Amino acid sequence: MFERVEGDRHNIAVFHPQYGASFPNKDFDGRVSFTRGSLENPSIRIDKLRMADAGRYICEYATYPSGNEQGTTTLIMLAKPKNSAIAIPVQAGSSEVVVARCEAAQGKPEATISWITAIAGRYNHTSVPEMDGTVTVKSEYRMIPTPSENGKEITCLVNQRTQIEPKSFPLKLVVEYPPTVTIEGYDNNWYMGRTDAVLTCQADANPAPTNVTWRALSGQLPPSVRVDQNRLLVRKVDETVNTTFVCEAKNSLGSGKKELVAMVIESTEDPSSAGMVAGAILGSFLALVLVSALVAVLVMRSRRHQHGYSGDGEQGTYGNKTRLFGGKKASKNGAGANNNGPIYTYRESEPGALTEKCNEFPRMTGSTPTAHDILLSGEMNEAERRKFDALNDSLEDEEEDERYDHFRGLPPSYQIHRHEDECTPYLDDDMESQRDGSIISRTAIYV
């Protein structure tokens, strides 16, 4: 027997040991049968199940004399819903409209629907029971459509008991709007004679523009201009393109346009020459820096010549104060060469006067240095000159400790006359041989 959830009992299958099996209910005609057809196992089989087959099934035994006995089982019917989702094309506006719809039809138990999106909006659900016990669920997503929302993603998610996992339906919103036009390519540098200038008309619209036109606000386009679909090609910039260009785009919802005022610069100079000018300026600056550095080096070398010997071994001029051949300190290399000769200085306070200080040589008699001696003294090598430079540097340190006597009455030839009571006269022993084979005098000669 079969008993619906809300209804009466009906016999659907009877088995009699003498008369066999019978199936009195027409709703199960051809769909129900006994699996074995015996009193020991009166199990039944129902094919082509329907949602109306859900309910209680009762197996009842009639025995004599103990009476009737029965057993009951419940059949629960589940239905997998038919899921679908669509994006509804809408026009941009200021009113809230339905932009997407999702449906789970004829499901049992009832399905649940949710939305996943970053778009601001709201949704609602409706459930409709069907005659066979299933339920159809519908959900709609609402929002105020704008052109910026066109193409944005929204996803419908359906959950139901018969599904292994939620069913997902990704959608893209369809918002229709008339064209919004922009003009690209103008760089504010249309100079006279420029070639191949291009303007591009960009139209943002849904559906796509069906027509794009170019025109001049003053009338016809200049003769040097050619239109290629949405592009305006200027073969050569001249006075005629100093005008206002208008681009207009149309679609099924309307049209949009954009104006651009082209200003022609009265200059034929190619702006690419700016790079060459910049390079020339930079090169001139670098050349000036190099020349300045060279002048600085030459000035430094000139100053060195004025204060002593130059670095290349040529003899320079003496300064106001010069110390030669000897002193209290040894040379830089530790050798005491040339420390035993006399010291002569030129005093600024007494023009034309020379002073001498002796280093305690034994008194000897001799003559004044000859021209030959002076020439020999000019053959000093580089090592001696370095010694003289070092001695010159130490002059100021020793200046306060040393006092020099004045020479008396220098003759026109600037010969030096020594005091007989302090220094020995000039002798051949006053000459000193050098490593390069030359001979120099220890006596300083001012010329």
Taking the C-alpha atoms of residue 166 and residue 173, their distance in angstroms, rounded to an integer, is 22
Taking the C-alpha atoms of residue 138 and residue 82, their distance in angstroms, rounded to an integer, is 11
pLDDT band at 114 (very low <50, low <70, confident <90, very high): very high
SS3 assignment, position 176: strand
pLDDT band at 119 (very low <50, low <70, confident <90, very high): very high
What is the percent of the chain where pLDDT is above 90?
41
Q: Phi first, then psi: what are they for 226, rounded to 5°?
A: -130, 140
In this prediction, residue 133 carries a pLDDT of 85
Least Cα distance to 252 among 210, 202, 201, 204 occurs for 210
Cα separations in angstroms, 432 against 205, 206, 337, 425: 106, 109, 10, 16
Taking the C-alpha atoms of residue 81 and residue 69, their distance in angstroms, rounded to an integer, is 39
In this prediction, residue 426 carries a pLDDT of 46
Taking the C-alpha atoms of residue 242 and residue 220, their distance in angstroms, rounded to an integer, is 13
Taking the C-alpha atoms of residue 308 and residue 119, their distance in angstroms, rounded to an integer, is 89
AA letter at 191: Y
Got the DSSP string for 314-330?
------SS---S--SSP
The sheet with strand 244-251 has its strands ordered as 211-216, 244-251, 254-261
Return contacts of 406-411, CB within 8 angstroms, 24+ apart: 406/347, 406/350, 406/353, 406/354, 406/355, 407/353, 407/354, 407/355, 407/356, 410/352, 410/353, 410/354
Sign of the C-alpha dihedral computed for residues 82, 85, 88 and 93 taken in this order: positive
Tell me the mean pLDDT in the region 93-116: 96
pLDDT band at 47 (very low <50, low <70, confident <90, very high): very high
Tell me the mean pLDDT in the region 213-226: 91
AA letter at 382: E
Any idea how long the chain is? Answer: 447
- Domains defined along the chain, listed by start: 2-75 (2.60.40.10), 82-173 (2.60.40.10), 178-265 (2.60.40.10), 343-441 (no CATH)
List alpha helices for 93-190, DSSP H.
none
Q: Is the peptide bond before 109 cis (omega within 30 degrees of 0)?
A: yes
In this prediction, residue 231 carries a pLDDT of 94
pTM as predicted: 0.52
Contacts (Cβ under 8 Å, ≥6 apart) of 344: 322, 323, 324, 354, 355, 356, 404, 416, 444, 446
- pLDDT tens digits for range 158-167: 999 999 999 9
pLDDT band at 220 (very low <50, low <70, confident <90, very high): confident
Q: Do 357 and 343 contact (CB within 8 A), yes or no? A: yes
Task: Identify the H or E element spanning 213.
Answer: strand 211-216
In this prediction, residue 336 carries a pLDDT of 44
Q: Phi first, then psi: what are they for 151, rounded to 5°?
A: 85, -5
For residue 14, give the DSSP letter. Answer: E
Task: Identify the H or E element spanning 281.
Answer: helix 273-307
Does the pLDDT value for residue 61 go beyond 50?
yes
Does the pLDDT value for residue 250 go beyond 90?
yes
> Encoding tokens for residue 100?
């997407």
Taking the C-alpha atoms of residue 164 and residue 104, their distance in angstroms, rounded to an integer, is 15
Owner of token pair 């959608």: 171
Residue 326: how many other CB atoms lie within 10 Å: 21
Highest mean pLDDT among 18-27, 223-232, 365-374: 223-232
In this prediction, residue 333 carries a pLDDT of 41
pLDDT, averaged across the chain:
77
Task: Identify the H or E element spanning 382.
Answer: helix 382-393
In this prediction, residue 269 carries a pLDDT of 53
> Encoding tokens for residue 297?
């080096």
- pLDDT tens digits for range 191-210: 998 988 999 999 999 999 99
